[in-house]
């Protein structure tokens, strides 16, 4: 068994697609639009991964509190401490908030925690 994809409601579909393409090497499919439902989405694929991220937008879905039960972050394995440090610095330089790290956690992960443009937590790890 494997996870096929994770879906995320977003407010600004194009900004979020561009963020994941620019910083995490994602490739988007052609945008899907269902005008009747006012729904649009992209599936993003990532290098060396079979799990995809679906970014979805519908005008009647709005942001909720970020500190709720349920999913809390998406972790991206970058392959090395140097890659974690480099992407963390690049995101910070471009104005994205660093919440924690880079550091080695108590369970042995080397990681940093950042926010994407819509305040979703991204864990960057080895």
pLDDT in tens, 94-105: 999 999 999 999
Number of domains the chain contains: 2
| 66 assigned to some structural domain | no
Q: Which range marks the domain in which residue 115 is found?
A: 73-126
User: Same domain for 1 and 46?
Assistant: yes
Question: Domain containing 77 — which CATH number?
Answer: 3.10.180.10
Measure the CA–CA gap between 100 and 96, rounded to whole angstroms: 12
Percentage of residues in the chain with pLDDT exceeding 70?
Answer: 93
Domain boundary among 59, 89, 104: 59
User: Same domain for 52 and 88?
Assistant: no
User: Same domain for 91 and 125?
Assistant: yes
User: Same domain for 1 and 30?
Assistant: yes
pLDDT, tens only, 20-29? 999 999 999 9
User: Same domain for 54 and 80?
Assistant: no
pLDDT, tens only, 81-120? 999 999 999 999 999 999 999 999 988 889 999 999 999 9
**Phi, psi angles (nearest 5°) of residue 103:** -160, 165
Beta strands 52-57; 5-9: pairing state = parallel
User: Same domain for 53 and 9?
Assistant: yes
Measure the CA–CA gap between 65 and 124, rounded to whole angstroms: 22
Q: Which long-range contacts (CB under 8 A, 24 or more apart) does 106-112 make?
A: 110/81, 110/84, 111/75, 111/84, 112/84, 112/88
| 78 assigned to some structural domain | yes
User: Same domain for 52 and 21?
Assistant: yes
| 96 assigned to some structural domain | yes
What pTM does this model have?
0.85
Residue 126 CA: distances (Å) to CA of 53, 77, 80: 19, 5, 5
What per-residue confidence (pLDDT) applies to 123? 95
Measure the CA–CA gap between 10 and 13, rounded to whole angstroms: 6
What per-residue confidence (pLDDT) applies to 25? 97
What per-residue confidence (pLDDT) applies to 106? 87
* Average confidence (pLDDT) over 65-69: 53
Domain boundary among 9, 35, 59: 59
* Structure tokens given for 62: 């709005």
Measure the CA–CA gap between 19 and 120, rounded to whole angstroms: 12
């Amino acid at each position: 068994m494997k996870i096929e994809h994770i879906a995320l409601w977003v407010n600004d579909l194009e900004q979020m697609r561009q963020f994941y393409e620019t910083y995490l090497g994602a490739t988007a499919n052609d945008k899907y639009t269902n005008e009747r439902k006012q729904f649009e989405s992209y599936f993003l694929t990532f290098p060396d991964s079979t799990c995809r991220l679906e970014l979805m937008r519908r005008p009647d879905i709005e942001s909720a509190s970020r500190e709720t039960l349920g999913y809390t972050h998406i972790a991206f394995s970058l392959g090395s401490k140097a890659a974690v440090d480099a992407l963390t610095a690049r995101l910070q330089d471009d104005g994205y908030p660093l919440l924690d790290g880079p550091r080695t956690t108590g369970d042995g992960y080397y990681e940093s925690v950042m926010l994407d443009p819509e305040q979703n937590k991204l864990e960057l790890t080895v």
